[in-house]
């Protein structure tokens, strides 16, 4: 099979992987196409495909780029993500106004992956396991990330 035929064959599974990695974010197709473009830029692209490692390679690129705050994917799409996040923040209740603003400010300091995962966890009323099933991210990674974000918020909320 040629590289294009292999990508075409794997494409439905790669779409599922992109949705899981991004937590169903609307940028999942952009993430997948970014990873495919990276594959085409590799001099050993044919070797990767012939070894049977295409899906693994593309999933690793997608995971790395989705989590990276300094990577090329974030530089290209990060402003869109941050604008969407800002537009979707609900107005806080009057009595919790200051704390909510402070929490959103602290979340803005985190990587977009940590911020997205934490907000998905909180807004979706998830457990670690349910979020893992929904996103395809390992439960251990989710718990480490959520706990790290909680600790960061707790330690900086009233400073």
CATH number at residue 150: 1.10.10
**Res 94: pLDDT:** 40
Residue 95 lies in a domain: yes
**Res 12: pLDDT:** 93
Closest CA to 103 of 134, 149, 68, 35: 149
Domains of the chain: total:
2
Residue 80 lies in a domain: no
pLDDT of 87 over the 80 cut: no
Percent of the chain with pLDDT over 70: 85
Pick the last residue of a domain from 40, 72, 104: 72
Each residue's pLDDT tens digit, 106-156: 888 988 888 888 888 887 777 888 888 888 888 888 888 888 888 888 888
Q: What is the pLDDT of the chain when averaged over all its residues?
A: 80
3 state DSSP class of 92: coil
Residue 30 CB neighbours (<10 A)? 16
Mean pLDDT confidence for 5-21:
91
Residues 94 and 146 in one domain: yes
Residue 79 lies in a domain: no
Closest CA to 26 of 37, 34, 18, 38: 18
3 state DSSP class of 146: helix
Residue 82 lies in a domain: no
Residue 81 lies in a domain: no
Residue 117 lies in a domain: yes
Residue 107 lies in a domain: yes
Please give the torsion angle defined by the CA atoms of residues 121, 148, 34 and 54, in that order, rounded to the nearest 10 degrees: -90
Domain encompassing residue 68: 3-72
5 versus 90: which is more confidently predicted? 5
- Please say whether the beta carbons of 27 and 69 come within 8 A: no
80 pLDDT band, cuts 50/70/90, is low
**Res 81: pLDDT:** 53
Pick the last residue of a domain from 46, 72, 98: 72
């Amino acid at each position: 099979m040629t590289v294009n035929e292999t990508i075409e064959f794997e494409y439905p599974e790669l779409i599922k992987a992109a949705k899981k990695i991004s937590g169903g974010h609307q940028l999942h197709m952009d993430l997948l196409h970014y990873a495919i473009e990276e594959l085409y830029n590799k001099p050993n692209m044919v070797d990767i495909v012939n070894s049977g490692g295409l899906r693994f390679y593309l999933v690793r690129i997608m995971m790395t780029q989705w989590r990276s705050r300094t990577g090329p994917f974030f530089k290209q799409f990060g402003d869109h993500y941050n604008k969407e996040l800002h537009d979707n923040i609900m107005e806080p209740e009057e009595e919790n106004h200051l704390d909510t603003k402070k929490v959103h400010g602290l979340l803005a300091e985190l990587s977009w992956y940590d911020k997205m995962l934490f907000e998905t966890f909180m807004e979706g009323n998830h457990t670690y396991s349910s979020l893992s099933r929904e996103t395809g991210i390992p439960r251990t990674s989710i718990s480490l990330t959520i706990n790290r974000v909680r600790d960061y918020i707790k330690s900086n909320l009233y400073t």
